[in-house]
Amino acid sequence: MKEIIKVSSLSKEFGTLKAVNGISFSVSEGEIFGLLGPNGAGKTTTIKMLTTLLKPTSGSAIVAGHDIKSDPNDVRKRIGIVFQDPSLDDDLTGFENLQFHAILYNIPKNRREKRISEMLRLVELEDKASVLVRNYSGGMKRRLEIGRGLVHEPKILFLDEPTIGLDPQTRRHIWDYISKLNKSTKTTIILTTHYIEEADYLCARVAFVDHGRIVALDTPKNLKDMLGGDIVSVNIEEGMERLEKVLRTVKWISSISRRGNLLELNVKEGEKRIPEIVKLADARGVNIGSINLHKPSLEDVFIHYTGKGIREEEGNWKDVMRMHRAARNR
């Protein structure tokens, strides 16, 4: 398929902090492409560079045929953005929010009202057009923001953490809506998220982002198939070092990740191997608290590449706060 985004060695530094560190990837026309990683990994900074809100420290990117550094205005004309933080005017109606955006993009008056009506219908808010946005639910506001991002008919829609702060039911509704939108309009969608399930459900391809780098990139299926077999999670109460040492010599274990009191083993036919793991532990006086078996998930793939889970990183805000302070002081 035709390439609509091409990113080459793109970097962004805030003082000594490398928020984005030499990433490269491409996105095909009509694709839903995901940037998946914990808070502070560099996902939003990447989006801000691709949407010309931040200038790169080095590297390049072509978005919808235009260079983000030399042709920022041409890039902006061809993209839509739904920011992570709410950006609607609560004192305006749904219609008025879209109207204001359409005026900013110089959509001709004879086209404007028809386009707004099309967007309200697309995001299923026709009956709420005259209602003040302050009276909208969280899911309704998100849908209106998506409609606003599409009103000027962009080639690419950037969604930065589109379901953050929403309840699980509303989040799933937004997923279904984004998927339907992509199929009906053929709009290319770039999605950032730290929700494993969101990336797995929506994205044709996913790039794992960790500490400003892309550590893996492929389809969700290929990423999970790369691990192969099953994941056996062993919670160890006592004797971690003894058990880990012997398990690392076992040929039918293809990889081992250690997190606190948990060993995660990648094995084939895991249900048959659990008794053998217990036997090895008993022989060395190791106390096992519990054992669980599951098929590989994107979380397991992330752990495989980084040695930690995405959720473990969500509480680490030091780099995030340093980056925000540096950005404010530029």
The pLDDT of residue 311:
64
Architecture in CATH of 3-223: 3-Layer(aba) Sandwich (3.40)
- Does the pLDDT of residue 32 top 70, yes or no? yes
For the question of whether the overall pTM of this predicted structure is more than 0.75, the answer is yes
Model pLDDT for residues 101-146, shown as the tens digit of each residue: 999 999 998 899 999 999 999 888 999 999 999 999 999 999 999 9
Task: Judge whether 250 and 263 are in contact, CB under 8 Å.
Answer: no
The pLDDT of residue 323:
43
Element at 321 (helix H, strand E): helix 318-328
The pLDDT of residue 128:
95
Cα angle 257, 280, 266 (rounded to 5 degrees) comes to: 30
Task: Judge whether 163 and 139 are in contact, CB under 8 Å.
Answer: no
- Does the pLDDT of residue 305 top 90, yes or no? no
Can you tell me the distance from the alpha carbon of 163 to that of 172, in angstroms, rounded to the nearest whole number? 9
The domain defined by 229-295 folds into Alpha-Beta Plaits (3.30.70)
- Does the pLDDT of residue 324 top 90, yes or no? no
Q: Looking at the chain, which runs of residues are DSSP E strands?
A: 3-14, 17-28, 32-36, 58-63, 66-67, 79-82, 156-160, 188-193, 205-210, 213-218, 230-238, 253-259, 262-267, 287-294
Q: 259-283: string of b/e by CB count within 10 Å (b at 16+)?
A: eeebbbbbbeebeebbeebeeebee
Model pLDDT for residues 150-196, shown as the tens digit of each residue: 999 899 999 999 888 888 888 888 899 899 889 988 999 999 999 99
Q: Is the dihedral of CA 60, 63, 66, 70 positive or negative?
A: negative
Is the fold of 3-223 the same as that of 229-295? no
The pLDDT of residue 173:
86
What number is the average pLDDT over the span 58-83?
A: 95
Residue boundaries of the structural domains of the chain: 3-223, 229-295
Q: 58-88: string of b/e by CB count within 10 Å (b at 16+)?
A: ebebbbbebebeebbeebbebbbbbbeeeeb
Helix-strand-coil split of the chain, %, nearest 5: 40, 30, 30
Closest by Cα among 297, 214, 303, 301 to 34: 214
Distance (Å) of CA 313 to CA 11, 138, 169, 300? 22, 26, 24, 14
What number is the average pLDDT over the span 237-255?
A: 91
SS3 175: helix
The pLDDT of residue 185:
87
